[in-house]
Amino acid sequence: MKISVFGLGYVGCVSAACLCDLGHEVWGIDVDPGKLDFILRGQSPIIEEGLGELISKYVKAGTLRATTSAAEALSSTEISLVCVGTPSLESGALNIEYVRRVAAEIGAALKSCGHRHLVILRSTMLPGTTRRELLPILERASGMKEGEGFFVAYNPEFLREGSALRDFYDPPKTVVGALRKETAEHAAQIYAKLTAPLFLTGIEEAEMVKYADNVFHAVKIVFANEIGAIAKPLGVDSHRVMEIFVADHKLNLSPYYLKPGFAFGGSCLPKDVRALAAQAHEANVKTPLLFSLMDANREHVQRAVKMIQSFGKKKIGLLGLAFKAGTDDLRESPMVELVEILLGKGYQIKIYDKNVSLARLVGSNKRFIETVLPHLTELLCPSTDEILEHAEVIVVANSDHDFPPVLEKVKPHQIIFDLVRIFPESPRHLPNYHGFCW
């Protein structure tokens, strides 16, 4: 393929050289004549192991060229990769001015391009930026509509400084988002020689993936550092602790707890978060991430309350009360907290949970519910039919396998509010279905 790479900074230089190595012909475009001079002399404008050798090789071979002219590059290529920087403003917001300028340049060059062109954004941008900000610029500047004279895709990069070439050839995944599947498939052909898992998705999902990755990396670093800060005054080897921690691929390093849903609860997580936070406080160790967890969890419950309030209905039916399916454990169940808040706001509530019976509750589980929700007997229903008869809003509170067939019986005026994503795919045949975080 013949590819233009806009922006010869870190991502652009690596992408341009490695794409040549995959067999493509590449034009590099940048407004900085200094960067172009480096490239044209077969040298790398940045320090990255192995990059200089690649640039030298493909400049000599004639498959890597450089120019300041978008029109010259587009006339000779079929695909453009936009890799310009998106630095922070003083406010912390993202500065996308450079991407806007490149979009306008590409749009203007498309007028005289003479063939259909695929524009792929690689610059890190917040979800919605491509569709809301850049697509209109491309259409105005070109006088064309996306899907006619040109196509747009978003393809985040996952390159780390110091290991960027290895990351390019062996990425954890390849993600391409587009307005239509055929566009995404075409864009993905650039990386046909790579063996990474391929995900074709919408543009906004592709934009968001990059932020999910980087912010989670930041969370992991802070988490490990806070564990170390607490372990140090206790005389505990934090590296040994984390070595054991990361060996668990069933729960710790896995998808298990990484699906958006409702708040955490139960007899373990809240208790242990508070205990470790108390230990840190006692040792006079500041651990902001750890201290924020319970507040963040309570805020998630409040989000659910606000969504229920937004429906403007007072009769609520809950499918599930325990903190997860297959248990009768009500201790610190976020659903119990949700019910308590809604009752205080005057909502009429009925609950069905086949595993919850006051007659069977014992010990601390029984004491908890007697303290927090003493009128539970009056709220429990013996069947889902009673929930369907009562509710204007049906709240799906755990992922019991019995619940999907129940939801197929809802009437057109009834709202389904799903806290657990009971359906793997959005149920389009249920018009009043509302997912919590999706």
pLDDT at residue 294 above 90? yes
Do the domain assignments include residue 261?
no
d(CA 13, CA 81): 11
Q: Give CA–CA dist 73/336, Å, rounded.
A: 62
Whether residue 160 is found in the same domain as residue 43? yes
288's enclosing H/E stretch is helix 288-310
pLDDT of residue 120: 98
Whether residue 41 is found in the same domain as residue 176: yes
**Residues identified as active-site:** 268
Which residue range is the domain that position 136 belongs to?
A: 2-202
40 in any annotated domain: yes
**Which has the closest alpha carbon to 177: 205, 219, 196?**
205
pLDDT band at 103 (very low <50, low <70, confident <90, very high): very high
Q: What is the pLDDT of residue 324?
A: 81
- 118-172 pLDDT, tens digit per residue, is 999 999 999 999 999 999 999 999 999 999 999 999 999 999 988 999 999 999 9
Task: Determine, yes or no, domain membership for 251.
Answer: no
Looking at the fold, whether 318 and 196 belong to one and the same domain comes out as no
Residue 372 lies in a domain: yes
Residues 64 and 181 in one domain: yes
> In total, how many domains does the chain have?
2
Residue 266: predicted pLDDT: 83
Percentage, residues of the chain above pLDDT 70: 98
For residue 47, give the nearest of 156, 157, 163 by alpha carbon. 163
Judge residue 417's burial from the number of C-beta atoms within 10 Å of its C-beta, 0-12 exposed, 13-18 middle, 19 or more buried: buried
Q: Judge contact between 155 and 19, C-beta under 8 A.
A: no
321 Cα distance to chain centroid = 28
**Residue 311, domain member (yes or no):** yes
Query: If you average pLDDT over every residue of the chain, what do you get?
Result: 94
Q: Does 267 reside within a domain?
A: no
**Among the three residues 140, 168, 202, which one is the final residue of a domain in this structure?**
202
pLDDT of residue 302: 97
Do 181 and 37 share a structural domain?
yes
Q: Which of 142, 176, 202 is the last residue of a domain?
A: 202
**pLDDT reading at 360 higher than 70:** no
Reported as type and span, the H/E element at residue 220 is: helix 203-234
DSSP 295: H
Give yes or no: residues 195 and 301 share one domain: no
Sheet strands (E) in 255-401: 315-319, 348-352, 393-396
307 and 160 in one domain?
A: no
Per-residue pLDDT at 366: 73
300 assigned to some structural domain? yes
pLDDT > 70? residue 50: yes
- Given 202, 237, 271, which residue is the final one in a domain? 202
CATH number, domain of 326, equals 3.40.50.720
Give me the pLDDT at residue 64, please. 98
Q: Which residue has the tokens 């006088």?
A: 143
Task: For residue 22, give the amino acid letter.
Answer: L
Judge residue 358's burial from the number of C-beta atoms within 10 Å of its C-beta, 0-12 exposed, 13-18 middle, 19 or more buried.
Answer: exposed
Residues 191 and 327 in one domain: no
Predicted local confidence at residue 373, as pLDDT: 78
Question: Is residue 10 a part of any domain in this protein?
Answer: yes
Q: Same domain for 300 and 189?
A: no
- For residue 359, pLDDT over 60 is answered with no
CA distance 27 to 77: 8
pLDDT tens per residue across span 180-228? 999 999 999 999 999 999 999 999 999 999 999 999 999 999 999 999 9
pTM: 0.88
- In angstroms, the CA 138 to CA 150 distance is 9
Whether residues 314 and 181 share a domain: the answer is no
Indicate whether 72 and 197 sit together in one domain: yes
Q: In this structure, what token pair is assigned to residue 298?
A: 């309570």
Asked if the model's pLDDT at residue 80 lies above 70, the reply is yes
Same-domain check for residues 164 and 310:
no
Q: For the residues 298-325, what does the mean pLDDT come to?
A: 95
Burial class (CB in 10 A: 0-12, 13-18, 19+), 134: buried
pLDDT at 364 over 80: no
